Amino acid sequence: AGGRAEARTADVGDTAAVEALVAAVVAAHGRVDHLVNNAGITRDGLLMRMKEEDWDAVLRVNLKGAFAFSRAVLRTMIAARYGRIVNIASIAGQMGNAGQTNYAASKAAVIALAKSLAREVGSRDITVNAVAPGFIATAMTDALPEEIKAAYLAAIPLKKFGLPKDVSSAVQFLLSEEAAYITGQVVAVNGGLYM
């Protein structure tokens, strides 16, 4: 909406790469006001059969990435005495999900990261929150078997799947001045599937 966007890439699990990216952004723009930790992957499987590298890969991207970016932007946010950080969690991190122990653990951890960091930096007018999406209609969920989608739909009180804009609207709100007195919270965007 009238702003300017710029794309930059880094391996979120590589703290040196993350720090270099943030340093380049600060050099170009002076500071970082908003951070959305949105990187996430899955490597689903039952825990008893899960490969250690699948466990590690999910935690490296989903949790270590949020840690690395949050730590990298804090110096500029603290100096500015302003900042907004939003971690994208998941309903799986709140209620668990069979076959996703690694993913659910990583998403529960980014919720705990948000809550703990909110306590650390709140006095500097930096808010830290999480958004926990439920079943969101995407190309990935469209590929699920119809019986699985029907079972989820039956369990959702609103009787519909969420849209990506439902998640982005929650994030946009948490980044706004209207949310200046909200920190350490988890905004559930799940149609009531988990209350």
Q: Please give the positions annotated as active site.
A: 103
Amino acid letter for position 132: A
What's the CA gap between 145 and 138, in Å, rounded? 14
CA pseudo-torsion sign 96, 97, 102, 104: negative
What's the CA gap between 173 and 185, in Å, rounded? 13
What's the CA gap between 194 and 188, in Å, rounded? 8
Closest CA to 26 of 58, 93, 72, 83: 72
If DSSP codes are grouped into helix, strand and coil, which group holds residue 157? coil
How far is CA 193 from each of CA 78, 80, 95, 108, 151, rounded to the nearest angstrom? Answer: 37, 39, 10, 17, 12
| Cβ proximity of 86 and 29 under 8 Å | no
How far is CA 35 from each of CA 31, 105, 137, 154, rounded to the nearest angstrom? Answer: 11, 22, 24, 35
User: Which DSSP letter does residue 23 get?
Assistant: H
